[in-house]
Amino acid sequence: MDRPIGVFDSGVGGLSVLRELIRMLPGERFVYLGDTARVPYGTKSGETITRYSMEIANYLVTRHDIKMLVVACNTASSLALPSLRKIYKIPVVGMIDPCVRRVAALAKREAIGVIGTSGTIRSGAYEQALRLAVPKARIRCRPCPLLVSLAEEGWVEKPVTRDVIAEYLAPFREDPPDALILGCTHYPILKKPIGSFLGNDTVLIDSGEEAARVVDTLVSESGVRRNRGSSEVRFLVTDDPEHFARVGEAFLGGGIADVASVSL
């Protein structure tokens, strides 16, 4: 029960997932690893992302004896999850399946939108999973790479952010989906302007929230929930811990201290 849950992303975006994990599992220990030396993942090949993901998973398993792995990156979830689940004996939770389950549970799900990085959308992983879960739904996927930089800058209320959202999501505004999956862990930072642009009739699905619900269920069903004390988090990065701590505050919703630099 005392073994930590490992969480990784290419950078700071996965901290939005960690925030939800801490909220739902307040007694757990976490090790978060941001691969900041090799960010971004969204523009890299599937082979490269799978190799990076396996290196990180191996580090967390062998050095920190994690009891569960959360792939807090939609791009890595799209491309590396089958390999990780085949190699490691611990539960591996990605971002895609939890979001698809949420869509399938909606009362209205005739039209579904997905936004994410170029790598996530190009992989077709969300579209494939959605077609299996809700075969009659109309599915539209759209890459929105610039939203990552805007989120990291903290430009939530800036006119340029509203303009970029309007440019990317114009097809969804013309024909609003019943649900829009925020298929990048950076995007929850921009949930307010995205929601304002699309209107109240579109349900925004946050991959961090949905993944945290799955983890909550898994630790309970497997009997490995840690219930004592408050959450403990160890932060690791592969480069520039100062920048990670500064930018990551907005994603985590609080200060980040004692960030260690590691080599994989």
List active site positions: 73, 184
Can you give the length of the chain in residues?
Answer: 264
User: How many Å apart are CA 225 and CA 208, to the nearest integer?
Assistant: 19
Q: Which two tokens stand for residue 262?
A: 């590691």
Q: Which of 161, 131, 11 is nearest to 75 (CA)?
A: 11
Provide the CA 224 distance to its chain's centre, in angstroms.
Answer: 23
Q: What is the CA radius of gyration of the chain?
A: 17
User: How many Å apart are CA 182 and CA 193, to the nearest integer?
Assistant: 13
Q: Quick check: 27 and 5 in contact, CB under 8 A? A: no
15 three-class SS: helix
Tell me which amino acid residue 179 is: A
